[in-house]
Structure 1
């Protein structure tokens, strides 16, 4: 038990150390940050982000975040840049260099080359007196008092601070560009996240069978329709409009209520006023309505016209739930 407590105490200490450093970042924000944002927005090029060591990994993640939120970006490793990859930087690009110390040999070699190309340079560094900070057009201070590492050596707190500063850049750019959820969907077409943003009821209904009976259909045909279409429900339709619905539950209740079912029709057992949803509505909205009403399927309509069924299992299979 004592070992468990020691482990948990150490984990909590790490988290608290890093959270305190992140909280302190806010006090470092000044006009330099705002100018850096303006520089990126007014640029006709991309954002090229570079770093060395662990900072390079953070740079790569920030690139991914910027690309997914509407700011074209590319990663350039600082070591590779001085061995042939400097051509990555184009005339109108803005360059961000990330370095805790701001004085690593690779950064000292890279910065003059960037400046020679007359590209704007933004520094993300924990040392505002460093070579990088002094040469940059704009400096974003990510100073941390200590690393979470007990030896104060392994980049932990410092890389977290760099990552958070990158997120701050990305979110400010997103907001100022008016980047919407629809824009976000364009960049995330795959996976559950993308489907939540673009998949519509009509996309699901198109792949489902369309169970329907008339009000005068005898009960045997109703049961066969529910069974064959495998959605646990059938719409009762007249003149292409829904007048009711028969579910598995309605069939069970019918069997409890009637000793003889010969002569019964759909209109005798159907439920009135079933829940419907328009086909152009996002599928995530169908899920929300199902959860709110405690049901597992909705009848899809286009105006008053019956179009099909969207089932909870469809949403699960699509990864939306």
Structure 2
């Protein structure tokens, strides 16, 4: 098992990032230019195939082995009344995933992907981050390492999802700590009312004040204000970059989880696609901060990797066009003049 020995060790790994294969991406673009369609008429579908090729290092890319990783964790801050559901729902939903009864089970099947769920010490919630860091250094590094090791190196594509009652509060706090603006990232989460939203914002403001000394270190932010599932998502995203595996993020929580990587290295998320725009209000703000353009906007806010799993279907459509379409030369179709 990978074990980052310290935050400095992890920080070094976050800075030592391989680049994608620009020639594989260029080969895709050259083929796209001679397919039987007007130039760039498939829009972002063409971009997605080039992105897959860049990070798989081959043309044509392939989507034979897609892995959906859902990380689950519990949060001590739920004691402050920031969620519409009690923390035991996290374990209940993990059981639902195991029995095949959740939305992500159905979407993984339709997407032709393998679903794996990693539960992280659900019986031991993180600390209430208004009173102390959510995780000490060892707890944080253990969670990051669990996510790093969860990735299958033979995957063609990895989809990252989460489950954790209270984790939109953690995500909003992490986002605010990294990008400023106090509690502007806070939203209604699983359905709290306006009074609950006020509590949530107050909790985030308290946490930002409590951990002011950690705010200049992205990894310190992740440990102090995040959660085990967020840390594991960071680890899995980092492992995917090291293995050059293209990665699709789900919604707000997943995006917040990997945001510290972008603060450490400006190109750290080049291998990442934002699968969709969540209706959770902070997600749009965070995507703008990170310069990520979501593929879909369906008003989803379930989590579980559900929006990202739907995005896989669009990736499959893009690849099918790229590999299956004829070229002008194949059909002796007259291309437009020079």
TM more than 0.5: no
Q: Which protein, 1 or 2, shows the higher relative CO under an 8 Å CA cutoff with sep ≥ 6?
A: 2
TM-score (norm 2): 0.29
Higher strand share: 1
Larger Rg: 1
